[in-house]
Chains A and B, each alone.
Chain A
């Protein structure tokens, strides 16, 4: 952006902020994937927020809250930045929320301080996002948060030689680093680390490579969607499953949305994740019932729904603390250390990192009543921080 257009933009933003809050409606701009291959995850943003509003009303201390939705489509930073600008300047939103992809979140971050707008990230899972602006709070998860427990589980299950296979982009590289560091620190050996290009669909060569390396366990991370199905099939059909090589992952590759398509080859896969739709608790039961009422079909609830539901809670708290005024520092301060019982378990906002602390559950894919689910095994890693941010 040129210097000229930048100063015009900030002028426009100042003009936008100088005006009185219009008729006391507080707008929240939600950027999510509402079309394309990731549309169901964006739909979950909306359903999670709708569920929160259905349960708690659309008023906070006399202020009406209105959510405005914009479609980020795919990993497209320029587009997300334009959408955020539009929301800030044209719709005059007081809060931004959502964002499925890491690069999109990174592109929006520089706008926040300039426009005094807090951002509640509801998915994008690369650790460093919250460091890009003091006005970012995250209610989803990070790769480090979910991967460190996976490495500990592998050690506990007797894995000695692990092959790591991850998609070659931000979260994949985070997952590889987190697993490698934890696993090697506990005395395990990483015999092969493969970074798979994002558009790979034929995983047979990768399975052959892993087999040749003599690994007893595979740890993998791929973004949910087209690649995961092929990865699982290749794992089974190249004889690795039959040879006793175990497969572990974070929950991203066995989301409840994808399980019906992946099919029975996913049976027995272990994954560590912060939320399973099958989680047994009264909070989750009423959450799922409420989600169904706002239009969630069977097999449609995913992790972005719960992140949005908890994100909406955080936004309401911010509005309450600032009494509807634009005061991002106060808003963010008010949620530091905030804790509550979410449908996923007890959670809190880490005052240091502004990232959510939560339980991470070990789950196994099982068939319950003819339906594939991530069943919790009972092993819980409680109150996990983001390991990358907290150890610095």
Chain B
């Protein structure tokens, strides 16, 4: 019983990290039809900014998260204006992939040059550092914080998309951008804001997930496959889909690590294959016309 609970708590924490980072990617793929392979790179920028802010400027963890999110969005603005804007919704997938992988290599190079090739840690505040006693086991306190962040992110997004004016415009632009334009919705602005939201979420996930996915220059490539897998298993654009995919994959991976660590990522990919065979468009995805 203790073992089952242990696996579940670890799986929940890992799944939440996957969710926070991947949901931004999922939104971009679902709403703007952009396969943004540079998403991991922007998450990494968030991690580096937080690490730099805390270790060199001496700010608090909360402030560092804010700097990371806003900084990553600011860094992405020139990319959005000059490059991404041209490929929303209609571009050839090959162009999207080539462009975004190019941006990824560009960012890796810059980060390597500026911060060096070693791993950068993000120091945790005393309240989140060290173990917490759950009764049946000790767990890193930070994991509880990550789980809470995941829940807040999921609820916040649901509220934003379903209950706000912005959400209505967004859904309108997604369903029929031409008609939305004709009705006076500035789709350019809606897409720009959604892009910023996606990057911001990625950066947020990069910072809070740094304990599980450590920040180093090749972060941008190393974990990108995992993020893409979450999106394809969950179904692009679906919040609930990304959440359930993250939980499912987190559970498969963590169970594998507990019971048969020498199998590596076998169980993770087994879960992926089974899901994709049963649900070709992802758990909650819709087929695009």
Binding site for B on A (CB under 8 A): 35-40, 168, 194-197, 199-202, 204-206, 208-209, 212, 225-226, 229-230, 233-234, 236-239, 242, 257-258, 261-263
Contacts and interface: CB of A to CB of B under 8 A. Distances in A.
Contacts of A237: 129-131, 138-143
A353 to B, nearest CB: 31
Contact of A205 (B130, B142, B222, B254): B254
Contacts, number: 107
B212 A201 contact: yes
Contacts of A199: 222, 264-265
A258 B140 contact: no
Interface residues on chain B, size class: 35 or more
B139 A257 contact: no
A205 B121 contact: no
Contact of B119 (A195, A196, A209, A229): A229
A258 B117 CA distance: 11
B6 A208 contact: yes
A258 B118 CA distance: 8
B213 interface: yes
Give the one of A199, A229, A262 with max B CB within 10 A. A229
B214 interface: yes
B121 A263 contact: yes
Nearest to A225: B119
Contact of B218 (A37, A168, A257, A263): A37
A263 B258 contact: no
B178 interface: no
A202 B6 contact: no
Interface string B260-289: 011011000000000000000000000000
B121 A261 contact: yes
Contacts of A37: 117-118, 216-218
Given A40-B118, A229-B121, A201 B214 contact: yes
The 7 closest A-B pairs by CB, nearest first: A239-B138, A237-B140, A197-B264, A205-B257, A239-B131, A39-B117, A205-B258
Contacts of B131: 236-239, 242
B211 interface: yes
Contacts of B258: 205, 208-209
A45 B68 CA distance: 35
Contacts of A194: 261
Interface in B42-94: none
A305 B120 CA distance: 22
A195 B261 contact: yes
Contacts of B140: 204, 233-234, 237-238
Nearest to B6: A208
B270 to A, nearest CB: 15
A168 B261 CA distance: 10
A14 to B, nearest CB: 40
A225 B121 CA distance: 11
Given A196-B261, A225-B118, A236-B131, A204 B10 contact: yes
Interface in B1-28: 3, 6-7, 10, 13-14
Contacts of B186: none
A6 B139 CA distance: 57
B216 A226 contact: yes
A225 B7 CA distance: 26
B111 to A, nearest CB: 12
B262 A230 contact: no
A229 B215 CA distance: 10
B123 interface: yes
A212 B123 CA distance: 29
A191 to B, nearest CB: 15
A128 B262 CA distance: 24
Given A195-B261, A205-B254, A237-B130, 8 more contacts: A168-B262, A201-B213, A202-B212, A204-B140, A205-B258, A234-B140, A236-B131, A238-B137
A220 to B, nearest CB: 13
A286 B54 CA distance: 35
Contact of B257 (A38, A206, A225, A230): A206
Contacts of A234: 140
Contacts of B262: 168, 195, 197
Contacts of B14: 202
Nearest to B214: A226
B118 A261 contact: yes
B119 A38 contact: no
A212 B259 CA distance: 12
Given A194-B261, A236-B130, A225 B142 contact: no
Contacts of A225: 118-119, 216
Interface string B204-227: 000000011110111000100000
Contacts of B212: 201-202, 230
Contacts of B118: 37, 40, 225, 257-258, 261
A36 B222 CA distance: 13
A13 B217 CA distance: 39
A36 B111 CA distance: 11
Contacts of B7: 205
Contacts of A239: 131, 133, 137-138
A191 B211 CA distance: 28
